[in-house]
């Protein structure tokens, strides 16, 4: 079945708020097996909202609107739906009484304007709103459904989860959808796209490719009549993709690099210290994104290469011989910080942001890792601005660290 989302509110068209409702609903619809082909955003304007409902009606079975159910003059969602359905609005006295009771609980009198929110039309069923005075509407007509929910995300999500999603599932869901996201790092989107080209053209299971700050993700989605069947379709494709992307894969679904690192260090009872040269603490910041980091992350040093010399017990000869920016210096930084803070593992990370070193292009990243047995180094180069280079430096370091620690 086809679903369509309409987000209503002039504040969305002025860029005053970001539309979180559409993204939330969009993430929920696949779980119900609904196909979402369009999201529209329209202001609090009755004529344009009717036009949008009309387009949606012609191409979708289920239309889900959020917003425009408030008590003020500019909230016109109810009026627009009524007019679109050629139905007449009346006031539901039992809803008015409920509102009055609600206000009484807070020792307030109900403002006259709230009466507007008790409006109903013959084809609508009222959906209760436990968090506010904007009830939802479920309008069934000629094989289509229009579902209207309030704009505040907490009210909308509660209504969605309590009533709307279960009702849609019961009435319309025949198939099951399952998906799995494979997270990779080290291949460009274009390269991974080339390698997985035949999969990207498939329909079911379908494979999507997404560039993210932590690498390139592949999402495999399958639709089937039973959960078992959908799962086996996903599993088969994931297995094949694993053979293609192999060593570049670092996680699946909700895995994060910092979460995986945290699990490895805690389970092995190891500790970590880092020394960042020119990357300004992005690695420390990423490692400490998890609360568990307090259990294994000992200390981070953040310094610029031109301030490096006298500190932290680094062997000056190494820097003299190979330069502040070099694989040898990254290794020395890893060893020095490991020794200085008595940690099991040390990571040295060097970023070349501009023209700090004539032999290294901007975007070069050098990683040193001392795990107590061996001292590794890696070098990569990335395009991008300062913020992007920093971000990719941290991701690179965690990606290599994870591989070594396994």
- Binding to a copy of itself, residues 130-189 (CB under 8 A): 131-132, 152, 154, 188-189
| Contact residue for a copy of itself among 25, 176, 178, 230 (CB under 8 A) | 25
Q: Shortest approach of a copy of itself to residue 19 CB, angstroms? A: 7
Q: Looking only at residues 221 through 260 of this chain, which bind a copy of itself when binding is defined by CB under 8 A? A: none
- 284 Cβ contact list (under 8 Å, min separation 6): 274, 276, 297, 300, 302
d(CA 136, CA 138): 7
3-class DSSP state of 63: strand
| Contact residue for a copy of itself among 67, 135, 136, 280 (CB under 8 A) | 280
Q: Does 190 bind a copy of itself (CB under 8 A)?
A: yes
Site stretch for a copy of itself (CB under 8 A), options 162-170, 190-198, 238-246, 367-375: 190-198
* Whether the Cβ atoms of residue 157 and residue 163 lie closer than 8 Å to each other: no
205: preceding bond cis by omega (within 30 degrees): yes
Q: Does 314 bind a copy of itself (CB under 8 A)?
A: no
Site stretch for a copy of itself (CB under 8 A), options 26-34, 160-168, 234-242, 319-327: 26-34
Tokens of 245: 């992307």
3-class DSSP state of 214: coil
Q: Does 302 bind a copy of itself (CB under 8 A)?
A: yes
The residue among 241, 56, 207, 44 whose CA lies nearest residue 146 is 56
Site stretch for a copy of itself (CB under 8 A), options 65-73, 121-129, 168-176, 262-270: 65-73
Q: Looking only at residues 33 through 52 of this chain, which bind a copy of itself when binding is defined by CB under 8 A? A: 36-43, 45, 48, 51-52
Which residue's CB is nearer to a copy of itself, number 127 or number 275?
275
3-class DSSP state of 41: strand
d(CA 41, CA 49): 9
Tokens of 33: 């097996």
3-class DSSP state of 384: coil
| Contact residue for a copy of itself among 140, 211, 236, 403 (CB under 8 A) | 211
Q: Does 361 bind a copy of itself (CB under 8 A)?
A: yes
Tokens of 389: 């280079």
Q: Looking only at residues 331 through 350 of this chain, which bind a copy of itself when binding is defined by CB under 8 A? A: 341
State the number of binding residues for a copy of itself (CB under 8 A): 105
């Amino acid at each position: 079945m086809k679903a369509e989302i309409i987000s209503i509110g002039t504040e969305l068209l002025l860029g005053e708020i970001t539309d979180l409702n559409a993204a939330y609903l969009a993430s929920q619809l696949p779980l119900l097996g609904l196909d979402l082909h369009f999201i529209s955003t329209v202001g609090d304007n009755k004529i344009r909202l009717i036009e949008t409902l009309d387009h949606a009606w012609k191409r979708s079975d289920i239309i889900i609107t959020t917003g425009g159910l408030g008590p003020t003059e500019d909230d016109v969602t109810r009026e627009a739906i009524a007019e679109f359905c050629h139905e007449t609005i009346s006031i539901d006295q039992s809803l008015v009484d409920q509102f009055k009771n609600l206000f009484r609980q807070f020792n307030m009198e109900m403002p006259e304007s709230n009466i507007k929110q008790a409006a109903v039309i013959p084809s609508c069923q009222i959906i209760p709103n436990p968090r506010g005075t904007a009830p939802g509407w479920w309008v069934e007509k000629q094989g289509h459904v229009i579902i209207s929910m309030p704009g505040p995300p907490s009210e909308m999500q509660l209504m969605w989860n309590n009533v709307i999603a279960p009702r849609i599932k019961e009435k319309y869901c025949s198939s099951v959808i399952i998906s799995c996201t494979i997270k990779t790092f080290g291949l460009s989107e274009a390269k991974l796209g080339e390698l997985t080209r035949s999969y990207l053209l498939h329909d079911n299971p379908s494979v999507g490719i997404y560039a993210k700050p932590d690498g390139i993700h592949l999402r495999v989605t399958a639709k089937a009549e039973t959960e078992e069947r959908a799962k086996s379709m996903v599993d088969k494709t994931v297995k094949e993709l694993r053979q293609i992307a192999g060593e570049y894969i670092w996680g699946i679904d909700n895995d994060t690099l910092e979460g995986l690192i945290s699990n490895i260090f805690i389970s092995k009872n190891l500790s970590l210290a880092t020394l960042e040269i020119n990357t300004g603490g992005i690695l420390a910041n990423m490692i400490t994104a998890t609360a568990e980091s307090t259990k294994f992350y000992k200390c981070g040093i953040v310094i610029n290469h031109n301030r490096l010399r006298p500190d932290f017990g680094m062997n000056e000869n190494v820097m003299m011989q190979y330069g502040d920016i070099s694989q040898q210096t990254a290794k020395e930084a890893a060893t020095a910080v490991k020794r200085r803070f008595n940690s099991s593992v040390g990571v040295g990370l060097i970023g070349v942001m501009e023209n700090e070193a004539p032999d290294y292009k901007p975007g070069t990243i050098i990683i040193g890792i001392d795990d107590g047995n061996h001292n590794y180094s890696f070098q990569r180069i990335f395009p991008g601005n300062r913020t992007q280079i920093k971000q990719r430096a941290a991701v690179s370091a965690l990606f290599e660290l994870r591989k070594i620690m396994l």
